[in-house]
Chain A
Amino acid sequence: MTYGRYQKYHPWLYEPRFPILWWIKKWAYIRFILREMTSLAVVFYAVVLLLYVNAVSDGPEAFAAFTAWLKSPLSISLHAVAFFFLVFHSITWFNLAPKAMVIHIGAKKVSGSVILAMNYLTWVVVTVGLFWLLTF
């Protein structure tokens, strides 16, 4: 019988190692990593918000010091970077939304572009609403 052969050559699979730098191989992968990194910008905003609340609770001097820091060039540039990443984050996620959300009206599927438009519309409405709340 030929079991000898079987044991000799099976299973001689070659298992390539997954490269650590896999993500620089393709622009799509780099874009993906960037999108994942945008979560750091979200963390930055969360920390700023916590510090803000903390400053308010510590009294007027602390609050003044904090707002002064917010106006510093370092803070403004950090905010600019964070803002860029947040917009990138929002846009990339919104563009993916039609894939995850499938909405029916009657028997017909709502097209992806409509879902996308609804998302952006909601974004604009919420932004305007917040702006109005804050400035009113």
Chain B
Amino acid sequence: MPVHDVVIVGGGGAGLRAAIAVTETDPSLEVALVSKVYPMRSHTVAAEGGAAAVIKDHDSFENHIFDTISGGDWLVDQDAIELFVNEAPNELVQLEHWGCPWSREPDGKVAVRPFGGMKKERTWYAADKTGFHMLHSLFQTSLKYPGIVPYDEWFATTLLIHDGRCQGVAALEQRTGRVEVIAGRSVIICTGGAGKVYPFTTNGAIKTGDGMSMAYRAGVPLKDMEFVQYHPTGLPGTGILITEAARGEGGILVNSDGYRYLQDYNLGQPLDVSDSNHPVKKSMELGPRDRLSQAFIHEQRKGRTIKGKFGDVVYLDVRHLGEKIIDQKIPFVRELASKYAGIDPVHEPIPVRPVLHYFMGGIDTDKTGSTSLPGLYAAGEVACVSINGANRLGSNSLTELLVFGARAGRAAAQFALEQSPTELAPLRKQVVDEDERITKSYLTKEGGTERISTIRTEMRDTMEDGAGIYRSEEGLKNTCNKLAELRDRFSNISLDDRSLTYNTELISVLELDAMLDVAEAVAHSARARKESRGSHQRTDHPVRDDDSYLMHSMAYKGDGAPKIDYKDVVITRWPPGERVYGQEQAE
């Protein structure tokens, strides 16, 4: 039967945590877990460094809250971050009980490591494959619940809305090509971010913003989309992530002169790597990601980066840690650098450059994960609560999956219990239309001339040009125009593959359609925000402007360009202030 109680789209960390939360709220509820890939392929798998939660005595909730708010340049909703920080330890302990192989102290307690922008060490980790272990632990645990029904390799194409509320999705089964109803009394979107909108990203092929686009088309606003995070240390060429844990364990960043250039960018003074206080938290290499990526661009302009085969790089040097620590704490860094950069970090510095990593923005939700559309919830990278504000701190997102995945799961379960049983007939009718739309637009269409890869490449390039680390009115205007042109050309697209069984080209075109929506929301939101805050840096408006823009931007899908509106940030106890890094020694 295609009728369930709750439908979850996305089988990554947030989706799995939500599914378990639904079934634990009421075991009689049936959850459809719809995922375009087998859940263990979801991109949570690639997260490396760790998940933040306060457990050590020398730390406090207050510290974690303040670090996150200042890290997010005060665009963080303070009520949300407060409950997030409070619920984080229990969620990580829960995952421990479900078998996650956290790295341990000699006495058997969970170990923590320092991370960028965090005043105390509070990042739980499983060596440097934390996301992999969290995802597999969640997925394997989810198998024990009979109430979770898998729809593996089903691609959700649109939300089904009837009676003013969201009641399921239309989804395409990849192995057969059929489009079916998957109905439920509530729906949770957990499809992750959209890094593939950019040319150079740590994100996997599957991160194409499908869920963001589905909600956006249904009239739900996308919040703070202009805030995209560049991770300062990706491998050149491939964009493969070299985890922040490499710096948390003591790795340093140097330019072409072997100089620790971060000291020139208001991030504190370096201590020698042999100093027992190195690395200093919230200082130098442990500054926040936005500031580190921006520093790279300045170094590049000064000509102090190193020319590589795939563009300019700086060096991430971990040699002083020694082989033993490297193999114990960051073995994956060694494996990736050896395999994909051809260097052994034990003996050579790793060439790195900033690479697109994460979307702070997403579907506008409240603290329970609910959206403006009744019955529709969202959690994880796809959602924007917002606890990440204008710049996310590393290791908050894995915890976010759990805290807000669970919250959305419980809220969606409760909502489902309060609704009357699903009427299938009106939903079926919508799915017939959706099937026809897909068939006519792509499978039986004649005469198109555009290739997917051409439009996709042009979209990515214009995003990097106009909506990259530094932005300006002129660049954003060009990007917005280019995106409008690409949207137009998209209607003239043509597929080589007209078959039904695993038509991966059809999936690619549906993904491209979604990415164009997301790109448009990013570019237009960025153009409208005439200030610099966190990861959104405008060369024509270089300072933060709290009077006009201490607000979340809300992008609504329009007929042409999106409509950009604003919504207040929740400020409770922490009034906007300066972001200060590198001052720890002075305190």
Tell me if chains A and B make direct contact, with any CB pair below 8 A.
Answer: yes
Q: Is the CB of B500 within 8 A of A9?
A: yes
User: Given the complex, which residues of A lie within 8 Å of B173, measured CB to CB?
Assistant: 6
Q: Is the CB of A9 within 8 A of B176?
A: yes
Q: How far is the CA of A6 from the CA of B435 in the complex (A)?
A: 13
User: Given the complex, which residues of A lie within 8 Å of B177, measured CB to CB?
Assistant: 5, 9
Q: Is the CB of B501 within 8 A of A2?
A: no
Q: Is the CB of A1 within 8 A of B176?
A: no
B445 within 8 A of A: no
A18 within 8 A of B: no
Given A9-B500, A12-B501, is A1 in contact with B428 using a C-beta cutoff of 8 Å? yes
Tell me the residues in window 346-371 of chain B with beta carbons closer than 8 Å to chain A beta carbons.
Answer: none
A108 within 8 A of B: no
Q: Is the CB of A6 within 8 A of B178?
A: yes
- B532 CB, nearest partner CB in chain A, Å: 50
B179 within 8 A of A: yes
B432 within 8 A of A: yes
B175 within 8 A of A: yes
**B interface size (C-beta, 8 A):** 13
**A interface size (C-beta, 8 A):** 9
Tell me the residues in window 1-53 of chain A with beta carbons closer than 8 Å to chain B beta carbons.
Answer: 1-3, 5-6, 9-12
Q: Is the CB of A1 within 8 A of B175?
A: no
**CB nearest neighbor in A for B180:** A2
Q: Is the CB of B175 within 8 A of A2?
A: no
- B182 CB, nearest partner CB in chain A, Å: 14
Q: How far is the CA of A29 from the CA of B435 in the complex (A)?
A: 49
Q: How far is the CA of A6 from the CA of B501 in the complex (A)?
A: 10
Q: How far is the CA of A6 from the CA of B154 in the complex (A)?
A: 14
User: Given the complex, which residues of A lie within 8 Å of B435, measured CB to CB?
Assistant: 2
Q: How far is the CA of A90 from the CA of B427 in the complex (A)?
A: 68
Tell me the residues in window 487-512 of chain B with beta carbons closer than 8 Å to chain A beta carbons.
Answer: 500-501
User: Given the complex, which residues of B lie within 8 Å of A5, measured CB to CB?
Assistant: 176-178, 500
- B433 CB, nearest partner CB in chain A, Å: 12
- Residues of A whose CB lies within 8 Å of any CB of B are 1-3, 5-6, 9-12
Extra A-B contacts (19), CB below 8 Å, given A5-B500, A9-B501, A10-B175: A1-B428, A1-B431, A1-B432, A2-B178, A2-B179, A2-B180, A2-B435, A3-B178, A5-B176, A5-B177, A5-B178, A6-B173, A6-B176, A6-B178, A9-B177, A9-B500, A10-B176, A11-B175, A12-B501
A-B contact pairs, 17 of them (CB 8 A): A1-B428, A1-B432, A2-B179, A2-B435, A3-B178, A5-B176, A5-B177, A5-B178, A5-B500, A6-B176, A9-B176, A9-B177, A9-B500, A9-B501, A10-B176, A11-B175, A12-B501
Shortest 7 CB-CB distances between A and B: which pairs? Answer: A2-B178, A10-B176, A6-B178, A5-B178, A6-B176, A9-B501, A9-B176
